[in-house]
Amino acid sequence: MSGGLKLAAQIQTVHVPYKGLAPAVTDLLAGHVDFMFDNLGNSLAHIREGRLKALGVASEARFSALPDVPTIAESYPSVIATSWFGLVAPPNTPPPIALHLSRTIAEILKLPDVTAKLQAMSFTPVGSSPEETARFLKQESERWATVISAAGIKAE
C-alpha cells in the first residue's frame, strides 16, 4: 500500500518489513517508525485512546466511525486499498449453485446482528453476485498491476 502512496505523492519512504501487525504497531507506538498502514479493526482502539492519530483511510469513502478522517483518495485519487474477504468455490461449481450461495450470504450479511458484529470489528459487509465479485477482482488486479509496474517490483 505504501508503494501506491509513495508513487502518487512522490515522497520517499523506507519499507520496514515486520512479522505481523503486533510488532509493527508496537514500534509505531514507541516512535520507532513514523507511519504504517493498518486495518482499522487492529488500530481503532489506539486511535480512540489518542495513542495513534489516523491521518487517512485508504478506502474510497470515509469510515463512519472516523468521519473527520479524510480518505487518502481525496488528495491522491489513485490511492485506494482495502482489505476484503471473499467466499470462493471450485471453478466447476454450477452457476445456479454459486448464485444461490451468493444470494444466501448477501442475505445473512444484512441481518442486523451480523452487520453489527462485523461493523464492531471495522468491517463493512457487502455481499455481491459472482459477476460483481469477478469485476471487483479484475479491478483490484488492474489497480495493483499498475502500482507494481510503476514501482518496478519484480518477483524474486
Q: Please say which residue of 26, 48, 82 terminates a domain.
A: 82
Burial 62-83 (b: 16+ CB within 10 A, else e): bbeebeebebbbeebeebbbee
The verdict on 69 and 95 lying in the same domain is no
Domain encompassing residue 118: 84-156
Predicted confidence band of residue 55 (pLDDT cuts 50, 70, 90): very high
Q: Please say which residue of 82, 100, 133 terminates a domain.
A: 82
The verdict on 72 and 139 lying in the same domain is no
Q: Check: pTM over 0.85? Answer yes or no.
A: no
> What pLDDT, in 10s, does the model give residues 58-90?
988 998 889 999 999 999 988 888 888 888 899
Predicted confidence band of residue 41 (pLDDT cuts 50, 70, 90): confident
